[in-house]
Structure 1
Amino acid sequence: MGIFSRMSDIINSNINSLLDSAEDPQKMIRLIIQEMEDTLVEVRSSSARVLADRKAAARRLEQVRAEAEGWEQKAKLAVSKGREDLARAALLEKRAIEEEVAVVEAELVALDEHIEQLGEEVAQLQQKLGDAKAKQKAMIMRSQTVESRIKVKRQMQRDALDNAFTRFEHFERRMDNLESQLESMDIGRDVPPDLAAEINALEEDERINEELQRLKKELGGDPAGQGGKD
């Protein structure tokens, strides 16, 4: 009876609650389906044996009933011949056979109940198996949908990262250009301050001399070669 107890446990279990508490729902439902299918095979094998036992019991019942009827006929014959002693003995045999008939009839009733119970449990198990397979199919579809969404989301994140890196590289290039422009402005400014001042002074003196010569010419003063002598 262990097989039927195990099957009843599976039939009475709540598949949804099992899946909710499982770490890997897909693996859990595969195990449930495998267990149901294995149990269904065992139950059908047991059903075949019970049906065979029922047929054997039915044949035995016909046999013992025929034997009881035979002793009935023998008792009647003995009575008709005036052999009450033989009739009594025949009736005792008939009584023993009738006890066996009662035992075989009870066995047939029990077997019929067993077969009916097996039929109900097999039907319930098949229904639960169908539910489990439908749940498995739905779960696989959900898993595929989730995986697709994750893949799309990862790709979007990858694209966002790529865009961020591209913008950062563009910003770096702009900074490099600005720094280069700033550095170009400083080219030549590394001349020693004193030397730069002396050169500027010479340039300024040259301009002053040119202005002085121009004024002298305008005023009709000294020729160009005598400028600067008082």
Structure 2
Amino acid sequence: MGIFSRFTDIVNSNINAILDKAEDPEKMVRLIIQEMEDTLVEVRSASAKTIASKKEISASINKIQSESKDWKSKAELAISKEREDLARAALQEKKKCDEQVQILTTELSVVDEQIAKLQNEVGQLQDKLADAKARQKAIILRQKTVSSRLEVKKSLDSGKVDAAMGRFEQYERKIDDLESQVDAYDLGKKTLADEFAELESDDDIDNELAALKKTMQSKSSDSNK
């Protein structure tokens, strides 16, 4: 069956290996999940048909078994009426019924095996589908993160960042030059604070000079005595 072949490929596939070969992991994840969901619908549909076939076979078996019992009753009636010819004919019909029952019973066993396999495969697919959905967000997030990192790496390797930093340093040097020019304009100019500071400095020197003169005059007077 084509359904089971494709289903087995999905169940046995390594999702990570598929993603490694994918150009767009996000798209591949969605496709894988969609494929699983579609296959699950098909397998469930096939399972429903198989179960319906089982019911038909079981109904046929019950009907034929009932006919077999009826032919047996007729054979017994014929014997009681001393009609061995009719009894033999009835037993032949009963034999045909029993053979049909045997064939249908064998067919029913095959159908039961198919149903069991279907149920097992549906369970496997449901587990795979649940796992894929649980990992979908993480895989997509990883893909976006790696893509962003790759873009950063490309920018670094292309020299764009170094070029930008070089321009930044040029601007810094230009600002330094402007600041130096501003400082040069102010060089040699006295501010009001500078004027007062000089006055205060002159007063200090005058006071110190007067004190020094007074000290020397005192020493000179003492030596003349």
Same fold (TM > 0.5): yes
Aligned: 1:92 with 2:92: yes
Pair 1:169 & 2:186 matched: no
Amino acid paired to 1:86: L
Equivalent runs, 1:99-178 vs 2, <5 Å: 99-146=99-146, 164-172=166-174
Which position in structure 2 is the counterpart of 1:2? Answer: 2
d(CA) in 1 for partners of 2:55 and 2:74? 29
Amino acid at match of 1:3: I
User: Over aligned residue pairs, what C-alpha RMSD do you find?
Assistant: 3.2
- CA distance in structure 2 between the aligned counterparts of 1:132 and 1:80, rounded to whole angstroms: 72
Q: Secondary structure at the match of 2:82?
A: coil
- Corresponding position of 1:39: 39
C-alpha separation between the residues in 2 aligned to 1:13 and 1:38?
16
Runs of 4+ in 1 over 3 A off after TM superposition: 143-164, 172-178
TM-score by length of 2: 0.69
Aligned to 1:215: none
Structure 1 counterpart of 2:10, which letter?
Answer: I
Whole-angstrom CA distance in 1 between matches of 2:143 and 2:23: 14
State the one-letter code of the partner of 2:103: V
Cα deviation, 1:150-193, whole Å, max 9, x if unaligned, reads 78889999887655423212334667999xxxxxxxxxxxxxxx
TM-score normalised by length of structure 1: 0.68
Structure-1 separation of matches of 2:168 and 2:58: 88
* 1:29 corresponds to 2:29: yes
* Residue 70 (structure 1) aligns with: 70
**Cα distance in structure 2, aligned partners of 1:63 and 1:24:** 58
Higher gyration radius (CA): 1
For these two proteins, the number of residue pairs brought into alignment is 179
Alignment partners' CA distance in 2, 1:56 and 1:11: 31
Please, which runs of 5 or more residues in structure 2 have no aligned partner? Answer: 181-225
Alpha carbons of structure 1 residues 16 and 62: separation in structure 2 relative to 1, 3 Å: same
Instruction: Could you tell me which runs of 5 or more consecutive residues in structure 1 were left unpaired when the two chains were aligned.
Output: 179-230
Question: Displacement, 1:30?
Answer: 1.6
Aligned counterparts of 2:149 and 2:17: Cα–Cα separation in 1: 26
Indicate if the aligned counterparts of 2:25 and 2:140 stay in contact, CA closer than 8 A.
Answer: no
Q: 1:162 to 1:137 in 2, by over 3 A?
A: same
Percent pairwise identity: 51
How far apart are 1:111 and its partner, in Å?
Answer: 1.1
How far residue 102 of structure 1 moved from its aligned partner, in angstroms, is 1.0
For residues 14 and 164 of structure 1, what CA distance do their matches in structure 2 show?
A: 48
Letter in 2 for 1:88: R
Counterpart contact for 2:25–2:143, Cα < 8 Å: no
1:109 counterpart letter in structure 2: S
Please name the residue that 2:219 is paired with.
Answer: none
In structure 2, the residue matched to 1:201 is: none
SS at match of 1:88: helix
User: 1:116, CA displacement in angstroms?
Assistant: 0.5
CA distance in 2: counterparts of 1:108 and 1:62, whole angstroms: 12
Tell me if the contact between 2:26 and 2:143 (Cα under 8 Å) persists in the aligned partners: no
Render the CA deviation track for 1:117-157: whole Å, top value 9, x for unaligned. 10000000111111212221211232344466678889999
In the superposition, relative to structure 1, how do residues 142 and 104 fare at CA in structure 2: closer, same or farther (>3 Å)? same
In structure 2, C-alpha distance between the alignment counterparts of 1:176 and 1:101, rounded to whole Å: 108
